[in-house]
Chains A and B, each alone.
Chain A
């Protein structure tokens, strides 16, 4: 993080510019105060998260002074049944909601990309609504909705998670639609026409031409939906009951009581999972974009 903008190795002089060259008027990337501002912001963004993760290995309950390395809080978190149940619930919800979100999002993307139809701008607006409205409004809407229609509450696992899953699909699939649609913009229409000219049916064209083309978008959208679902607190907070606690909701109730290394350990696991997923999604999208151009 410290070496922003300086591609130097082992302190040797950079290959392209020499340090002695004066900084040109447009060489803002080499101005110290700009580099410092980037460094400071990155420190600001990362120090809390990194300390949180580091102190999950700290052998002290008070959590401030480094007392030595330990894994006991991970062990403790692993033996905490309600935490594990919450984690299992979160993964189940994320998995099911991702599958539905990808299906619905892909269909919505195809509709918006392929067809002209009356009322399309309003349709697009409605599709963007779950992305833009405040989370609290959506959470409240879901709470009221499931209470008013009398959604059954005491169903066996995993059916008792259905309300949360439905809420998660509602806010995830428009994101998937956005990602997939961005991918479809680059689609060469002639491929589809060629397939049809060669006698492929509508379904065959869809399955053998369009879906393979959409795949990187589907994967990226799926990872996005998974992360969104795994991360969501506010909307889940309003749709979950005492028996349907998800990981963030559980962490919330733990945080309200105290700051403990156990919470740090559980959080560290979730951070690693989501960062890995996000990087994977971005890498896939980037690669797909490069291959296309």
Chain B
């Protein structure tokens, strides 16, 4: 790498356009939102910048704190489910035959590239009252009833008078289901990356010395995969916490997350200063999570080295 002073002309020619774009069309918009978050709404559109902290104060209301807590809780549950589900998958891919690895990885990543909206829409068709899950359950119910009739138990109506479809959509379950659906690829990849780098002789040694597979998993494999687990947890948690579309389309009235509240401030409640404050709080939470990841992975690598 050369110091920029050695060829300043090339440096300026190459760095100016992207820097200009970043500043003008990314940092400036963020700065405007930041300034607005200290403003006060006056009338329908007018906003006066009074450098008040009222918007942030309002965000500490029980109502909004609850929504923040709920967003974090949903994101945490999602992350936990993703971790539990993705770990065996990443482990299996690590130990799959060489030529199957890229195929399996591609299969895991591919859904990530299909449109989020379409994937969410696909889940609606799966989960709704007349959706595939309920349809399958009803089929089983019918078969069960038929079998019971065959056994002469038809009159007893052991399975209830008629099939009651499960309410799978427009509730918190649907939101977590959708978030797990979206988040799984984010979790598999970092786990795979760290498991694939692991020195397998440690596992071998542990097994040779008489530890059970179970004990080897918890005392050898998981500690060695710590960096990947931390990465996976955080990059699943961040988008889950800030997700808008999944709670919007799959959630009910009581499964609103923070992004939905932000959207409402801008699209219907028309309270831009408050919406700005909320979106900056969400951003600070994101930065906090990223800093945590950097810190934890640093301490993790220090441990490995030591």
Number of A-B contacts defined by CB within 8 Å: 256
Chain A residue, CB-CB nearest to B280 = A137
Contact residues in B for A174 (Cβ distance below 8 Å): 22
Q: Is the CB of B21 within 8 A of A64?
A: no
A126-150 to B contact mask, C-beta < 8 Å, 1/0: 1101101111110011111100100
Q: Is the CB of B118 within 8 A of A145?
A: no
Q: Is the CB of B115 within 8 A of A271?
A: yes
For the complex formed, measure the closest distance between the CB of A97 and the CB atoms of chain B, giving whole angstroms. Answer: 12
Contact residues in B for A115 (Cβ distance below 8 Å): 1-4, 11, 15
Assess A37 versus B88: contact at CB under 8 Å? Given A48-B119, A202-B7. Answer: yes
Q: Does A84 belong to the interface (CB within 8 Å)?
A: no
Contact segment of A74-82, A165-173, A211-219: A165-173
Bound-state Cα–Cα, A27 to B200, Å? 11
Which residues in window 223-245 of A have CB below 8 A to B?
227, 230-231, 233-234, 238
Which residues in window 263-280 of A have CB below 8 A to B?
263, 267, 270-271, 274-275, 278-279
Q: Does B106 belong to the interface (CB within 8 Å)?
A: yes
Q: Does A288 belong to the interface (CB within 8 Å)?
A: no
Number of interface residues of B (CB under 8 A): 91
Q: Is the CB of B115 within 8 A of A136?
A: no
Q: Is the CB of A108 within 8 A of B18?
A: yes
Chain B residue, CB-CB nearest to A266 = B118
Contact segment of B50-58, B62-70, B222-230, B242-250: B242-250
Contact residues in B for A130 (Cβ distance below 8 Å): 26
Cβ 8 A contact of B91, one of A28, A110, A251 = A28
Q: Is the CB of B92 within 8 A of A248?
A: no
B1-26 to A contact mask, C-beta < 8 Å, 1/0: 11110010111001101110110011
Number of interface residues of A (CB under 8 A): 89
Most A CB contacts (10 A, CB to CB) among B36, B91, B92, B245 go to: B92
Q: Is the CB of A34 within 8 A of B92?
A: yes
Q: Is the CB of A267 within 8 A of B118?
A: yes
Bound-state Cα–Cα, A103 to B245, Å? 31
Q: Is the CB of B121 within 8 A of A177?
A: no
Q: Is the CB of B29 within 8 A of A141?
A: yes
B121-164 to A contact mask, C-beta < 8 Å, 1/0: 11111101011100100000000000000000000000000000
For the complex formed, measure the closest distance between the CB of B232 and the CB atoms of chain A, giving whole angstroms. Answer: 14
Contact residues in A for B78 (Cβ distance below 8 Å): none
A-B contact pairs, 26 of them (CB 8 A): A26-B203, A37-B85, A38-B104, A46-B111, A49-B111, A49-B118, A49-B119, A51-B126, A107-B17, A111-B14, A115-B2, A115-B4, A132-B238, A133-B286, A134-B283, A136-B244, A136-B259, A140-B279, A141-B33, A145-B28, A166-B25, A248-B115, A255-B249, A259-B124, A274-B114, A274-B115
Q: Identify the 3 closest CB pairs spanning chains A and B, nearest first.
A: A134-B242, A145-B29, A141-B29
